[in-house]
């Protein structure tokens, strides 16, 4: 998911340089959404990992 976020960010930068404002804005919005979804999923897995590790070490 982070890979797709970076891809859309690069698309947004290239589109902005070439003057395609609408496409650049849309790609930047998609990149932001994917990045925040990635962060939420990462935090969930981090918490689950610590929870499972505590149960295994007991």
pLDDT of residue 2: 84
Instruction: Determine the Cα–Cα distance for residues 13 and 36; give it in Å rounded to an integer.
Output: 19
pTM over 0.95: no
pLDDT, tens digit (0-9, with 9 covering 90-100), for 1-54: 789 899 999 999 999 999 999 999 999 999 999 999 999 999 999 999 999 988
20: left (phi over 0), alpha (psi -120 to 50) or beta: beta
Give the 3-state secondary structure of residue 1: coil
pLDDT of residue 1: 77
Tell me what the mean pLDDT of segment 53-57 comes to: 85
């Amino acid at each position: 998911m982070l890979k797709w976020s970076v891809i859309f960010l690069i698309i947004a930068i290239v589109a902005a340089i070439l003057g395609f404002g609408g496409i650049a804005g849309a790609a930047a919005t998609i990149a932001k959404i994917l990045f925040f979804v990635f962060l939420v999923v990462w935090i969930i897995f981090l918490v689950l990992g610590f929870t499972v590790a505590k149960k295994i070490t007991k």
